């Protein structure tokens, strides 16, 4: 496994990040433990979760949110592996029915951090990420709350998720005024079929020194060999069928290219992300230990310049940074 700095920080993380959104909902605890064991054995030291993961992600539905953190906490206690990993979690989503049980008020950040620490059975979080931007809370309040957590040793670094480029710029400007490091990473939707972040988010990450952590690197399964799987009898949802029809010509060309390369489509899609210097580590979210093992192949694939050009032709991006992509 290769390692790289997370953004401009001195922190080193593996080039693949284990995402645990499935833990507790689609993946039971014993299987989650197997996936975590497999990941650490393979050299993955970067594990991502969120306070809301593990259930329907809504506090007015059946109990379940927070379960992913609890599973990771029990695994770390059982394996004694806390010091082996860089642990990331998130704050923002509703964790209760009260008006202050969500978003990024100083009150909720403090309470949510304490609750995550309890569920994770640890005394600190390595990367504490804002799950979404909060346009109703001033940055002075948000950064004051984060600074206090850093001073108390409860978090070490701060990251963002689903931020626009101008959100990153605004956050960093406010942090700089406070002589605070601010953000070191952004977690965004990014894959071959979803390249909008190339316009402004990736340029903002480059400018401010944030590592990019792509979520949904396989487009929800679209880039995982979906045509091959359906030809083999795999059933799929009506929503996925609509996406397949929308992208059928591109999927046929993509899967044919992968076949010529002798690689699985999922591995090629991940390898394409890893070839982007802006990308720190794509989030991989296996549901089984076997899927975890298969995912490791992506970190070994070297794509030629010709292959990268072919992938750009099949899955064209927006044309570069904004505004050059559309105004120059």
Ordered domains of the chain (ranges, CATH): 3-221+264-301 (3.20.20.100)
Q: Is 4 helix (H, G, I), strand (E, B) or coil?
A: strand
Q: Are 175 and 145 in contact (CB under 8 A)?
A: no
* Cα 328 to Cα 320: distance, rounded to the nearest angstrom: 11
Q: How many CB atoms lie within 10 A of CB 100?
A: 10
Q: Which pLDDT belongs to residue 263?
A: 98
Q: Is 237 helix (H, G, I), strand (E, B) or coil?
A: coil
Q: Which pLDDT belongs to residue 186?
A: 98
* Cα 24 to Cα 165: distance, rounded to the nearest angstrom: 33
State the catalytic residue, choosing from 3, 53, 247, 326: 53
Query: Phi/psi zone of residue 137: left (φ > 0), alpha (ψ -120 to 50 degrees), beta?
Result: beta
Q: Which pLDDT belongs to residue 143?
A: 98
- List, run by run, the mean pLDDT of 10-residue segments along the chain (328 residues): 97 98 94 97 97 78 79 96 96 93 97 98 98 97 98 98 98 98 98 98 98 97 94 85 94 98 98 97 95 95 98 97 92
53 catalytic? Reply is yes
Strand order in the sheet with 17-19: 211-215, 183-189, 155-161, 125-130, 86-91, 46-48, 17-19, 283-284
pTM above 0.85, yes or no: yes
Helix (H), strand (E) counts: the chain? 13, 10
Q: Quick one: DSSP state of residue 3?
A: E
Largest CA-CA distance found in the chain, in angstroms, rounded: 58
């Amino acid at each position: 496994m290769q390692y790289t700095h997370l953004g401009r920080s001195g922190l080193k993380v593996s080039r693949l990040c284990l995402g645990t959104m499935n833990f507790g909902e689609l993946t039971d605890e014993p299987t989650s433990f197997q996936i975590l064991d497999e990941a650490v054995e393979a050299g993955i030291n970067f594990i991502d979760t969120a306070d809301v993961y593990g259930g329907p992600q809504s506090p007015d539905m059946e109990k379940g949110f927070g379960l992913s953190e609890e599973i990771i906490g029990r695994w770390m206690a059982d394996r004694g592996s806390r010091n082996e990993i860089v642990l990331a979690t998130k704050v923002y989503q509703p964790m209760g029915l009260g008006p202050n049980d969500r978003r990024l008020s100083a009150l909720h950040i403090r309470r949510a951090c304490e609750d995550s620490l309890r569920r994770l059975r640890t005394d600190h979080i390595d990367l504490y990420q804002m799950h979404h931007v909060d346009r109703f809370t001033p940055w002075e309040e948000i950064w004051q709350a984060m600074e206090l957590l850093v001073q108390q040793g409860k978090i070490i670094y701060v990251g963002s998720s689903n931020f626009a480029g101008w959100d990153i710029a605004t956050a960093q400007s406010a942090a700089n005024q406070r002589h605070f490091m601010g953000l070191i990473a952004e977690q965004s939707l990014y894959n071959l079929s979803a390249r909008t972040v190339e316009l402004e988010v990736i340029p903002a990450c480059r400018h401010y020194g944030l590592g990019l952590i792509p979520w949904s690197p396989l487009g929800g399964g679209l880039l995982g060999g979906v045509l091959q799987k359906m030809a083999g009898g795999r059933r799929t949802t009506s929503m996925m069928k609509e996406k397949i029809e929308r992208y059928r010509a591109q999927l046929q060309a993509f899967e044919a290219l992968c076949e010529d390369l002798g690689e699985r489509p999922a591995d090629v899609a991940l390898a394409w992300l890893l070839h982007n210097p802006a990308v720190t580590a794509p989030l991989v979210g296996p549901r089984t230990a076997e899927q975890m093992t298969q995912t490791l192949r992506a970190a070994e694939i070297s794509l030629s310049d010709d292959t990268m050009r072919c992938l750009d032709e099949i899955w064209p991006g927006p044309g570069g940074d904004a505004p050059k992509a559309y105004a120059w």
